[in-house]
Amino acid sequence: MTLPLTVVQKLGLVPGDELRVDTDDESIVLRRSDSLAERRLRTLDQVAGSLADVYEPGYLDRLRDEWR
């Protein structure tokens, strides 16, 4: 199903959002199946820990010590 870009932008939809299909008399109604808070948590879960190997062990502790 293709949604108009204006609708996607207005609702703040992003790839991976799930929509629920309902009916209202003779119309088809799409509803977001999760809340904004749930989407934010899902996004956070996707990136959490992704930078684990950026710094060598102990580097950030040494950097913090320099601030003191």
Chain segment 39-59, per-residue pLDDT in tens: 778 788 888 888 888 888 899
CA 26 to each of CA 2, 32, 33: distance values in angstroms, whole numbers, following the listed order = 20, 20, 21
Section 11-19 average pLDDT: 84
Query: Residue 62: CB partners within 8 Å, gap ≥ 6?
Result: none
Whether residue 10 is contained in a domain is answered as: yes
Domain count, the chain: 1
Identify whether 48 is part of a domain: no
Q: Is residue 53 part of a domain?
A: no
3-state DSSP call for residue 36?
A: helix
Domain of 26, in residue numbers: 1-38
32: in domain: yes
Q: Are strands 19-24 and 27-32 parallel, antiparallel or unpaired?
A: antiparallel
pTM exceeds 0.85 for this model: no
**For residues 3 and 1, what is the distance between their CA atoms, to the nearest angstrom?**
7
27 pLDDT above the threshold of 90: yes
Domain for residue 56, yes or no? no
Q: Is residue 52 part of a domain?
A: no
* Residue 61 is assigned to a structural domain of this protein: no
